[in-house]
Chains A and B, each alone.
Chain A
């Protein structure tokens, strides 16, 4: 199938979701369920990678700053801006593309193969709206929250690593954090996280929803959805950086 066929079908899927819900209460229930699955379910991995990303960037920045003319507080600035601009939104979302994306693709793929989607269609339910829309909405709500949390934890991780490794004191780190801070960077990171959240949910949903075959194809479509999502995240990352910075 060509790129344009996939893209056209993807757009039709997105359009197909935009209908009046059969029962708003059931959609809300499904949305809250997905928020728990995606948001709370990813909390652990996001916390771990965020702390270590911040810690490693503090240690590596200190390793590269050999000049005595550059103040130690610069390390905190570099950690802060790297975490806010790139690590928290992009790296976390790439990890979430694997965690959340493969889950969405395999869940929908399994439902398709075991005729559960057909069963919902027969009941008169718009399956695109009921199964995909709450997932996309839940990622749009929870992933920016996770990214903000990741920013905080990443910066804290750098502070912790800096003091534990005797690179710089916590006071110097805190001073550096407040120097030349641009609030727009956080806004930019949120733009990125919303864009990536949509990619992370809609692309795996497409691959899972239209899967054909059996268990093998579910695995393949899950892997493919993660690969395509990661590429699209990196592509969107470049476009957004070029446009908005």
Chain B
């Protein structure tokens, strides 16, 4: 569990996060959503310590992250995995070396044991025969999967994903979402995902926080978001006419005005 309380972060005069509080639950996919510039990335960077909040507290399972010394933070960070927007794979290393890097740095395993673990995680993210390839030789989706493999190779308790679907086609995005969701459940991790991908919100949003101009505007899950009456949230989530129609359909279903078990094939005729 990661709890953050009254986080305020500003750059010079501009306040980017204004008194944001929430609890990210263990074993769930916790989503931070919002428009570009709403403060999602800044919030995530504050949570992992890449940025220092001006005030507020961040607590990792009863350990105050904001009050920690740098050495304590370094120890905690070994329990954190992060998937970056651009994957952040090391260009000069092969896939195998990339995934093995945290093992090389923080474990005393021999090469055979490390290779076994690397192959295990690569298989877990559905990648085979890519060990000798360099990041430049991989597609966007494959890079993301290698990034996930590297993030989970040390069995972290906390997984952070910054825009995991950016630059991916909808089908690959769903594969990545499902992978993150399955891994979260399998290893009972606290997963925090920054996204503005609506498919992700609907598919894996078990605990969602919506930021608007640096403030927490709404929180809930993917079931509740459909029925939310928050205008700012609705304008963001159901931005297109198609999504608005989908929402209206769901609302009518919920009110019993449309048969949920209707035969769509029959209707199409």
Contact B48 A122 (CB under 8 A): yes
B85 at the interface (CB under 8 A from A): yes
B227 at the interface (CB under 8 A from A): no
Contact B104 A23 (CB under 8 A): yes
What residues of A have a CB within 8 angstroms of the CB of B55 in the complex? none
Contact with B along A179-197 (1 / 0, CB 8 A): 0000000000000000000
Surface stretch bound by B, among A53-61, A65-73, A110-118, A136-144: A110-118
Contact B106 A22 (CB under 8 A): yes
A26 at the interface (CB under 8 A from B): yes
Residue of A26, A119, A125 touching B84 (CB-CB under 8 A): A119
Closest 3 CB pairs of A and B: A124-B77, A119-B88, A115-B88
Closest residue on chain B to residue A21 by CB atoms = B105
What residues of B have a CB within 8 angstroms of the CB of A23 in the complex? 104-106
Which residues 52-76 of B have a CB within 8 angstroms of A? 73-76
What residues of B have a CB within 8 angstroms of the CB of A114 in the complex? 86, 88, 91
Q: In the complex, which of the residues B77, B88, B91, B106 has the most CB atoms of chain A within 10 Å of its own CB atom?
A: B88
CA distance A125 to B74 in the complex (A): 7
Contact B80 A122 (CB under 8 A): yes
Given contact pairs A118-B82, A123-B77, enumerate 19 new A-B contacts (beta carbons under 8 Å): A22-B74, A22-B106, A23-B106, A26-B104, A26-B105, A114-B86, A114-B88, A115-B84, A118-B50, A119-B84, A121-B50, A121-B77, A122-B50, A122-B82, A123-B78, A123-B102, A124-B77, A124-B78, A124-B106
Whether A115 touches B85, Cβ cut-off 8 Å, given contacts A122-B77, A123-B78, is: yes
B187 at the interface (CB under 8 A from A): no
Contact B105 A123 (CB under 8 A): yes
Closest residue on chain A to residue B147 by CB atoms = A119
Q: What would 22 A/B residue contacts be, using CB atoms closer than 8 Å? A: A22-B106, A23-B105, A110-B91, A114-B86, A114-B88, A115-B88, A116-B88, A116-B89, A116-B90, A116-B91, A118-B82, A118-B84, A119-B82, A119-B84, A122-B48, A122-B50, A122-B81, A122-B160, A123-B102, A123-B106, A124-B75, A124-B80
Q: In the complex, which of the residues A110, A114, A123, A126 has the most CB atoms of chain B within 10 Å of its own CB atom?
A: A123
Closest residue on chain A to residue B82 by CB atoms = A122
Q: In the complex, which of the residues A114, A115, A122, A125 has the most CB atoms of chain B within 10 Å of its own CB atom?
A: A122
CA distance A64 to B77 in the complex (A): 67
What residues of A have a CB within 8 angstroms of the CB of B84 in the complex? 115, 118-119
Q: Could you list which residues of chain A lie within 8 angstroms of chain B, going by C-beta atoms? A: 22-23, 26, 110, 114-116, 118-119, 121-126
What residues of A have a CB within 8 angstroms of the CB of B160 in the complex? 122
Nearest CB of A to B163, in Å? 11
What residues of B have a CB within 8 angstroms of the CB of A125 in the complex? 74, 105
Interface residues on B, range: 20 to 34
What residues of B have a CB within 8 angstroms of the CB of A116 in the complex? 88-91
CA distance A115 to B50 in the complex (A): 11
What residues of A have a CB within 8 angstroms of the CB of B75 in the complex? 124
What residues of A have a CB within 8 angstroms of the CB of B77 in the complex? 121-124
Nearest CB of B to A206, in Å? 19
CA distance A115 to B105 in the complex (A): 19
Which residues 93-125 of B have a CB within 8 angstroms of A? 101-102, 104-106
Closest residue on chain B to residue A117 by CB atoms = B88
What residues of B have a CB within 8 angstroms of the CB of A22 in the complex? 74, 105-106
Nearest CB of B to A188, in Å? 38
What residues of A have a CB within 8 angstroms of the CB of B104 in the complex? 23, 26
CA distance A124 to B90 in the complex (A): 16
Closest residue on chain A to residue B104 by CB atoms = A26
CA distance A108 to B4 in the complex (A): 32
Contact B106 A118 (CB under 8 A): no
What residues of A have a CB within 8 angstroms of the CB of B90 in the complex? 116, 119
CA distance A92 to B49 in the complex (A): 42
Nearest CB of B to A16, in Å? 10
CA distance A118 to B80 in the complex (A): 13
Closest residue on chain A to residue B101 by CB atoms = A123
CA distance A122 to B102 in the complex (A): 11
Q: In the complex, which of the residues A23, A26, A116, A119 has the most CB atoms of chain B within 10 Å of its own CB atom?
A: A119
Nearest CB of B to A117, in Å? 9
CA distance A116 to B87 in the complex (A): 9
Nearest CB of B to A37, in Å? 10
Closest residue on chain A to residue B74 by CB atoms = A124
What residues of B have a CB within 8 angstroms of the CB of A110 in the complex? 91
CA distance A80 to B157 in the complex (A): 64
Which residues 189-233 of B have a CB within 8 angstroms of A? none
